[in-house]
Amino acid sequence: MEAAAVRRPPAWLAALLPLVLLGALIGVFIAFDAPGLERNGIPVEDVAIERTELHPGEIQLTLQNDGPDAVRIVQAIVNDGFASFTQDDDELGRLDRSQVTVAYPWIEGEAYEVKLLTSTGGTVDKSIDVAAETPEADAGFYGLMGLIGLYVGIIPIAVGMLWLPWMRQLDRRWLRFLLALTIGLLVFLGIDAALEGLDLGASGAESLGGGALMWLGAALAYLVLAGVDGWLSRRGSGGERVALLVAAGIGLHNLGEGLVIGSAYAIGSLALGAALVVGFAIHNTTEGLAIVAPVADRPPRVGRLAVLGLIAGAPAVLGAWIGASAFDPSLAAFMFGVGVGAIARVIVQIAPQVRDSAGRLLHPLAAAGLAAGLVLMYATSLLISV
Amino acid sequence: MLSRRNFLCRIPLVAGALPAAQALAAEPHAGHMGAAAHLGTVGMVDPASNGFDPQAILRDFDEGVVRGGVREWELVADEKEIEVAPGVKYAAWAYNGRVPGPTLRAREGERLRIRFVNAADHPHTIHFHGIHTARMDGVPDVGAGNIEPGGDTTYEFTAEPFGLHLYHCHSIPLADHIAKGLYGAFVIDPKEGRPDADELVMVMNGFDTNFDRSNEVYAVNTVAFAYQHEPVRVKRDQLVRIYLVNALEFDLINSFHVHANFFHYFPTGTSLEPTELTDTVIQGQGQRGILELRFPYEGRYMFHAHVSEFAELGWMGFFEVV
């Protein structure tokens, strides 16, 4: 009787109260334009150039205002000369994007220094090391990207998976060695992707997080894969689960790789050559090995292996398409982070299988395998970083 | 793989290795000029918002006021935001609200008195080129020295030698005080005068708008391409005399070149005899000289710094001969 008389407000209302209060305070603060606080100093101009395209007689820049204040681009200078230009927006608010098209008779193969002058006399600088026309994104272009993805992603991984019959004849000790080798390969890929992601993040809009986006992507991917793994563990068997995870992890990694290839090609800075394709192919063949190593102790099923190969390789095609049509350094940094997180999760997953009969993880053969994996990946990476 | 993206930029195309790629990527291509492309600034500077017009500065000689046999001026230094190229605002320091400052004109041997008022937020001086006593030299720590904000002083000396000189602030840091706009032309006519002519003042200057110790904008009389947008009108066959002063900072030299014509050059204007008949002259920082020429044909004739970089960054214009 008494409890019913004194009716307490529901618990969720109490949880909502601070939020409502915060909202009201923010409203008041904005309505009165930050009472008591005065702006110190002059406006800060910070503009990132997200994308550069060259078309006949034109240099096209995509800008993002990365600073707290609005920026107005009022003149354009190319190689120490004013040049005429057009732009989408006269004024860029915080995080606004705009495209500036500078009319300039650029010459293929030469270097250009573009400076955009702001209304305060500040400059936004962009160097073009080697001018080359940006390819048009038509059907043939997407076909080409698909072909690149096929060459550098799918085929090498499929070839690498052909090591499976040989691996099945190895005894357990050498299989552990190969698994350790796989971990070595993955560690190298993870480190490489992390550095690449940090690099890309730094080149994108700092206000979107810069390099932190890479770590965010890594953490999220790790957590998601850990969750998926927990869910899968109630179903399928151990080895196949691991193979699937390895394939997914490598796939996410290849998505980031595809992004970079596609964007480099889209802005004309990628000169396709046999050496490049061969380098990628040799490098990525080792990824196929990594996928099949965890399932070497059970009979292979061709259909399943093909699916695994596609999961690992096809994202390179997808990445190339995305990178070529809508490249964004911040997004790319995040995607590289996703690859890093996936790889980290895969390493954690494979590690127990490396343990020897005594339960040791870093037994001599495992250490040798790890080192061999790192060195192998490093050596093949030289093929594509001459 | 560590430097994959660097690599992507460097690998040369290997023909035939990848047929589809070759077909799409190998198409040779030279850069083109778009149909609508033109070089130069976009838009116009409004002289009204600047408070001075490069067209007016050309023929604006300030002879001051003669009182009791002494020629007098008052110059006020102040801060002023000016538009040096369309849309590009520059926080200048100016004498009497304009950059360059007023062109002061006197006759050889006259007594001159210049009252200087510092209405700006930093110490300033006026240092005149010419022959005078140390106390009237307008440098820190000598004579009146630096004139503090709100202060004033009077510089007094005799106009000598005749020729084309300049005046500028000499407070430190010197390059900044000059580059921000505290300079102007100072003409001392010879006693016997010079032949009648259409006289023009051209102060070559530049502006370091992003403070990286190099100029983003170049001009004569401050506004980039001002005389390209509105040519300097002169009459055919008439004697044209140009008082050319180099007030540029951060670049060691500047130059003047006129198309389809030659001029007599009088370095520093201190002799009535020209030293050279030429179409291009170089001036170092603070150097100046007088040019005399006649245009025998009607039409549009370009003039610009023959330092092409300066020309394309604003120091370019036209004579319209009618």
Report the residue of chain B nearest A72, measured CA to CA: B87
Assign B112 a pLDDT band (cuts: 50, 70, 90). Answer: very high
Min Cα distance A53 → chain B (Å) is 13
CATH number at residue B303: 2.60.40.420
Quick check: A121 and B6 CB within 8 A?
Answer: no
Report the residue of chain B nearest A148, measured CA to CA: B21
The total number of structural domains in chain B stands at: 1
With respect to residue B276, please indicate whether it lies within any of the assigned structural domains: yes
Inter-residue contact B204 to B220 (CB < 8 Å) = yes
Q: Which residue has the higher pLDDT, A246 or B80?
A: B80
- pLDDT tens digits, A226-264: 887 777 777 655 667 777 888 888 888 788 777 777 776
> For residue B206, which residues of chain A lie inside 8 Å, CB to CB?
none
With respect to residue B58, please indicate whether it lies within any of the assigned structural domains: yes
Structural domain boundaries enclosing B108: 47-321
Write out the DSSP string of B191-223. TT-----EEEEEEEEEE-TTSSSS-SEEEESSS
Report the residue of chain A nearest B36, measured CA to CA: A103
Which of A80, A253, A343 has the highest number of chain B CBs within 10 A, making it the mutation to test binding with B? A80
Element (H, E) at B88: strand B88-95
Minimum mean pLDDT among A274-288, A308-322, B191-205, B262-276: which range?
Answer: A274-288
With respect to residue B238, please indicate whether it lies within any of the assigned structural domains: yes
Q: Which residue has the tokens 């994007």?
A: A97
Nearest-10 Cα torsion for A22, A28, A30, A36:
-110
Quick check: A119 and B87 CB within 8 A?
Answer: yes
CA atoms within 13 A on the CB side of B8: 20
Q: Which residue has the higher pLDDT, B49 or B64?
A: B64
Omega prior to B100 cis, within 30 of 0: yes
Length of chain A measured in residues: 386
Tell me the C-alpha to C-alpha distance, in Å, between residue A100 and each of A90, A114, B212.
10, 11, 24
Checking if the pLDDT of B202 tops 80, the result is: yes
Closest Cα partner for B186 from B309, B311, B286, B317?
B286
With respect to residue B24, please indicate whether it lies within any of the assigned structural domains: no
- pLDDT tens digits, B130-158: 999 999 999 999 999 999 999 999 999 99
Distance of CA A265 to the CA centre of its chain: 16
> For residue B218, which residues of chain A lie inside 8 Å, CB to CB?
none
**How far apart are the C-alpha atoms of A232 and A215, rounded to whole Å?**
25
Quick check: B38 and A84 CB within 8 A?
Answer: yes
- pLDDT tens digits, B19-63: 333 333 333 333 333 334 467 888 889 888 898 999 999 999 999
Instruction: Domain A47-128: give its CATH superfamily.
Output: PCu(A)C copper chaperone (2.60.40.1890)
What is the rounded average pLDDT for all residues in chain B? 89
Quick check: B88 and A386 CB within 8 A?
Answer: no
Q: Inform me whether the C-beta atom of residue A327 falls under 8 Å from chain B C-beta atoms.
A: no
Cβ-nearest to A385 among B2, B28, B89: B2
* E strand intervals along chain A: 47-55, 58-65, 71-78, 82-83, 85-87, 91-92, 97-103, 112-118, 123-128
Quick check: A135 and B24 CB within 8 A?
Answer: yes
With respect to residue B8, please indicate whether it lies within any of the assigned structural domains: no
Quick check: A119 and B11 CB within 8 A?
Answer: no
Count interface pairs A-B at CB distance under 8 A: 185
Cβ-nearest to B40 among A82, A129, A144: A82
Q: Inform me whether the C-beta atom of residue A366 falls under 8 Å from chain B C-beta atoms.
A: no
Regarding an ipTM greater than 0.85, the answer is no
The first and second tokens of residue A32, run together, are: 């009165």
- Residue B192 has phi, psi (to 5 degrees) of -85, 0
Report CA Rg, chain A.
26
Average pLDDT for A145-149: 81
Q: Which residues does residue B304 pair with via DSSP β-bridges, in sequence order?
A: B257, B316
**How far apart are the C-alpha atoms of A59 and A85, rounded to whole Å?**
9
Cβ-nearest to A130 among B9, B209, B312: B9
**How far apart are the C-alpha atoms of A179 and A170, rounded to whole Å?**
12
- pLDDT tens digits, B211-257: 999 999 999 999 999 999 999 999 999 999 999 999 999 999 999 99
The first and second tokens of residue A246, run together, are: 């390895």
